[in-house]
Structure 1
Amino acid sequence: MELAVKTLAGKAAGNITVDDAIFGIEEIRGDILQRTVRWQLAKRQAGTHKTQTRGEVSVTTKKYIRQKGSGGARHGSKNAPIFVGGSVAHGPKVRSHAHDLPKKVRKMALAHALSSKAKDDAIIVLDEAVLSAPKTKELAGQFAGLGIENALIISGSTVDANFAKAARNIPNVDVLPVAGLNVYDILRRKKLVITKEAAEGIKARFDGAKEAK
């Protein structure tokens, strides 16, 4: 598959060839994408929710009502879950929400996410993402010329400092190095913008996975 390359100014800068196994999948597996997004979001969940158990509630442990003759039930202390100000029965505890997902599934999901953007004609290839000065207004004008309003921009191995500073003030635009490419960020933005260096990095990432296998 061939993709047209443009400059930030919107001028043509040739073409690049990308692997059909990464960008040309016809049948997009929504179930694979859903599993991977759920895995990503579960990993980033803090899991710091916590309620107090009976041993942690600060109330008197004195037997506040006599055992017999009150006409009510027998109670020992007021830190039981049935009392206002008492503990919580079976409440949440601090834990990790992360779960495992096979590398094969994660790799497949990334290819399907990239192919879904290519299928929707929502991929823009730039020759480079570099600015001489961190000017947000100038970059916003260039984005408007390229039709970029809501996009994930994948730079090369590193992100140009001036480009990152200029882009961070533009709403609905995320900038990541090629190593940070992930399924969730691809799907949450309408367009995917990659540089020529990023395209090579993506291919190397998949080739590396094949060699590791």
Structure 2
Amino acid sequence: MQINTLDSKKPVTLNDAIFGREFTEDLVHQVVTAYRNAGRAGTKAQKSRSDLSGTTKKFKKQKGGGARHGDYRAPIFVGGGRAFAARPRSFEQKVNRKMYRAAVATILAELNRQERLKVVDAFDVEAAKTKLLAAKLAGYGLGRTLIVTDTGTEALFLAARNLPHVAVLDTASVNPVDLIRAEHVVVTVDALKKIEEWLA
């Protein structure tokens, strides 16, 4: 399988085992969900009646006054504890390495089929100016774009910071969420080879 580069129009050979995979929606959904859940803090906490300060004295007699109550910290009263209080917890889901790599390969293959994967020989800007990067992307006819490069200078990363729909990653930071979110994915030839080595 071959794909033409945007700048030189030279064909680049793609690994069929990676870029020819069928799209597996269930696998991608599981991996994306696990990836996003791993970023959740899980620090939400509420106070139950046992966590509140205050007296535990029974405020009225047991019989003759209507409903039976113990103390004012019961959830039924204003200022009382929460009936089913939230506790800090981890949202982490286990996804093994083989599944994660398979999901990334599946997404890349689907991007290639939809012609949303673009390959360039190199991608950089002369100075850390947002308008330079915006003009370069407009020249390629690209909008919401993820740029994957290992040879980009600091100027490229700085130029992309003020563009809300443009992100720059190195190959070690490629993840399924950013790949799915992008309308187009621009990958340099060197980065493409490293990705193929990683997923092979």
TM-score band w.r.t. shorter chain: over 0.9
2:50 aligns with 55
In 1, are the aligned partners of 2:8 and 2:121 still within 8 Å (CA)?
no
Moved more, 128-137 or 181-190: 128-137
Tell me the distance in 2 between the aligned counterparts of 1:159 and 1:88: 52
In structure 2, list runs of 5 or more residues that go unmatched.
Answer: none
In 2, are the aligned partners of 1:154 and 1:175 still within 8 Å (CA)?
yes
One of 27, 39, 42 as aligned partner of 1:44: 39
1:185 and 2:178 matched: yes
TM superposition shift of 1:133:
1.1
1:198 aligns with 191
Secondary structure of the equivalent of 2:78?
A: coil
Tell me the distance in 1 between the aligned counterparts of 2:68 and 2:164: 61
1:3 aligns with 3
1:137 and 2:131 matched: yes
Tell me the distance in 2 between the aligned counterparts of 1:47 and 1:116: 33
Tell me the distance in 2 between the aligned counterparts of 1:159 and 1:82: 60
Secondary structure of the equivalent of 1:132?
A: coil
In 2, are the aligned partners of 1:51 and 1:91 still within 8 Å (CA)?
yes
2:162 aligns with 169
In structure 1, list runs of 5 or more residues that go unmatched.
Answer: 208-213
TM (norm. structure 2) is 0.93
Tell me the distance in 1 between the aligned counterparts of 2:13 and 2:19: 10
Q: Deviations over 1:23-47 (max 9, x none)?
A: 122x311111111111111111111
Q: Deviations over 1:94-130 (max 9, x none)?
A: 0110011222221211111000100000111121222
Task: Tell me which amino acid in the other structure corresponds to 2:114.
Answer: D
Matches within 5 A, 1:1-213: 1-6=1-6, 11-12=7-8, 14-25=10-21, 27-70=22-65, 72-156=66-150, 159-207=152-200
* Count of residue pairs brought into register by the alignment: 200
Secondary structure of the equivalent of 1:92?
A: coil
Q: Deviations over 1:163-189 (max 9, x none)?
A: 011111112111111111111111111
Task: Report sequence identity in percent.
Answer: 35
In 2, are the aligned partners of 1:125 and 1:194 still within 8 Å (CA)?
yes
